A and B are shown apart, each in its own frame.
Chain A
Amino acid sequence: MAPNRNALATELVSGVLAGDRRLCARAISLIENNAPEAREIVSALYPHTGQAMVVGVTGSPGVGKSTLVEAMTLEWRRRGRTVGIVAVDPTSPFTGGAILGDRIRMQRTSGDVGVFIRSMAARGHLGGLAAATEEAVAVLDAAGFQVVIVETVGAGQSEVEVMNVARTTVVVLAPGLGDDVQAAKAGILEIGDVFVVNKADRPGAKETAVQLENMLELGGAMARHGRVRLSAQDLIHHAGLEQETEVVESEDIGWQPPVLQTTAFDGGGVPEVVAAIERHHEYLQAHGVGAMREFERAAARVRELLAAILAAKAQEKSAQAGQWDSLIARVARRELDPFSAATLVAQALSV
Chain B
Amino acid sequence: MERKIRVLVAKPGLDSHDRGAKVVARALRDAGMEVIYTGLRQTPDQIAEAALQEDVDVVGISILSGAHRVLVPRIVERLRELGLSDVLVVVGGIIPPDDVPFLLERGVAAVFGPGSSTADIVAFIEEHVQKVRA
Interface segment, one of B29-37, B61-69, B94-102, B113-121:
B29-37
B83's partner among A22, A100, A118 (CB-CB below 8 A) is A22
| Residue numbers in A under 8 Å from B91 (CB-CB) | none
**Of the candidates B2, B26, B38, B53, which one forms a contact with A21 in the assembled complex, judged by CB atoms under 8 Å apart?**
B53
Main secondary structure of the interface of A (DSSP, over half): mixed
Please measure, in the bound complex, the distance between the C-alpha atom of A101 and the C-alpha atom of B31, giving whole angstroms: 17
Interface residues of A in 15-37 (CB under 8 A from B): 21-22, 25-26, 28-29, 33-36
The B interface, classified by DSSP as helix, strand, loop or mixed, is: mixed
Interface string of B1-18 (1 = CB under 8 A from A): 111101000000000000
Interface contact A22-B46, CB-CB below 8 Å: no
A33: contacting residue among B2, B25, B36, CB under 8 A: B2
Closest Cβ neighbor of A112 among chain B residues: B49
With an 8 A cutoff between CB atoms, is A99 at the interface? yes
Chain B nearest CB from A325 CB (Å) reads 24
Total chain B interface residues with beta-carbon distance under 8 A: 33
A97 touches B35 (CB 8 A): yes
Q: Which residues of A contact B2 (CB under 8 A)?
A: 33-34
- CB pair A34–B1 under 8 Å, yes or no, is yes
Interface assignment of A61: CB less than 8 Å from any CB of chain B: no
B25 contacts A99, C-beta separation under 8 Å: yes
Partner of A22, one of B30, B38, B82: B82
Q: List 30 A-B contacts (CB under 8 A).
A: A22-B52, A22-B82, A25-B52, A25-B53, A33-B1, A33-B3, A34-B2, A35-B1, A95-B32, A96-B4, A97-B28, A97-B29, A97-B31, A97-B32, A98-B29, A99-B37, A100-B37, A101-B36, A101-B39, A103-B37, A103-B38, A104-B37, A104-B38, A105-B39, A107-B41, A110-B49, A111-B43, A119-B34, A121-B34, A123-B4
